[in-house]
């Protein structure tokens, strides 16, 4: 694609896709329900999102979903860290590429047939570690641009069910968008009857504040 940006079609098996759909269904119901993210100027995103590990809202991460129900988001599971590491090793065709990669947040996005996502950079993280993106269900047009402007040059490609897309290195801050969902292209055997599920794992680079009681000297 571009240096640091790699598309691996059909990376997830059907069984892995099924398991991810089940996991995401669970997260979509709680502790923080999936919702249309509110934008600072009063709009709402057409995509529905639920986060694990850290909660994202424009333009910050917190442990609690203060713009939804105030609950702490679900833990980021170890198996997903493992999946992220394998994604990097496979995308970069380098067994060592995933070593030390410890994603601590994932945005789980659900697109119905009408949903879109405008050109943006993922830049609310304080780490430049790669973003690992997975697609399940309907295919979409994915627009992958440059790091300088939200306009051309960009490349439109299709991301289909099971595809992996990694953007790291010189592509980490590339603008990207989802201009179109291709309804009816998904295989219902994934467990998703319609729409597109997207999971993006990231490293926030954030740490929880150390509380007084965590200090042995404070006991
Ligand atoms: O749905 C996608 O493929 C991209 C999602 C995305 O860019 C994001 O969540 O920041
Ligand atoms: Fe993004």
The model's pLDDT over 5-18, given as tens digits with 9 standing for 90+, comes to: 999 999 999 999 99
In this prediction the ipTM stands at 0.99
**Residue owning tokens 């968008």:** 177
* Ligand 1 centroid from CA 211, angstroms: 34
* Residues 166-218: tens digit of each pLDDT: 999 999 999 999 999 999 999 999 999 999 999 999 999 999 887 766 666 64
- Within the chain, residue ranges assigned H as helices are 14-29, 78-91
State percent of the chain over pLDDT 70: 96
Return the pLDDT at 219: 45
**Residue owning tokens 């949903």:** 115
CA–CA dist 24, 75 (Å, integer): 13
Asked if the structure places residue 210 within a domain, the reply is: no
Mean pLDDT over residues 137-145, rounded? 98
CATH number for position 93: 2.60.120.590
Asked if the structure places residue 213 within a domain, the reply is: no
CA–CA dist 198, 133 (Å, integer): 7
DSSP string, 103-163: --EEEEEEE-TT--EEEE---SSS--PPEEEEEEESEEEEEE--SS-SSSS-EEEEE-TT-
Asked if the structure places residue 172 within a domain, the reply is: yes
Asked if the structure places residue 168 within a domain, the reply is: yes
- Domain containing 10 equals 5-205
Pick the atom of ligand 1 nearest to 159's CA: 3
Asked if the structure places residue 211 within a domain, the reply is: no
Report the chain's mean pLDDT, rounded to a whole number: 96
* Ligand 1 centroid from CA 201, angstroms: 10
For the chain, the domain total comes to 1
Does residue 107's CB lie within 6 angstroms of at least one atom of ligand 1? yes
């Amino acid at each position: 694609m571009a240096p640091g940006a790699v598309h691996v079609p059909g990376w997830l098996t059907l069984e892995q896709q099924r398991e991810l759909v089940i996991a995401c269904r669970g997260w979509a119901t709680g502790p923080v329900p999936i919702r249309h993210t509110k934008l600072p100027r009063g709009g709402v995103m057409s995509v529905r999102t639920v986060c694990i590990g850290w909660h994202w809202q424009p333009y910050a991460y917190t442990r609690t979903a203060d713009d939804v129900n105030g609950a702490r988001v679900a833990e980021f599971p170890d198996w997903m860290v493992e999946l992220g590491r394998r994604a990097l090793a496979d995308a970069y065709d380098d067994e060592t590429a995933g070593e030390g990669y410890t994603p601590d947040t994932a945005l789980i996005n659900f697109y119905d047939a009408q949903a879109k996502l405008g050109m943006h950079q993922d830049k609310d993280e304080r780490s430049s570690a790669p973003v690992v993106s997975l697609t399940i269900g309907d295919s979409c047009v994915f627009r992958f641009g440059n790091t300088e402007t939200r306009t051309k040059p960009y490349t439109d490609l299709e991301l289909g069910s099971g595809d992996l897309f990694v953007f790291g290195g010189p592509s980490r801050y590339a603008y990207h968008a989802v201009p179109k969902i291709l309804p009816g292209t998904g295989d219902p055997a994934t467990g998703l009857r319609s729409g597109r599920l997207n999971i993006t794992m990231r490293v926030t680079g954030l740490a929880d504040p150390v509380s007084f009681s965590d200090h042995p000297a404070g006991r």
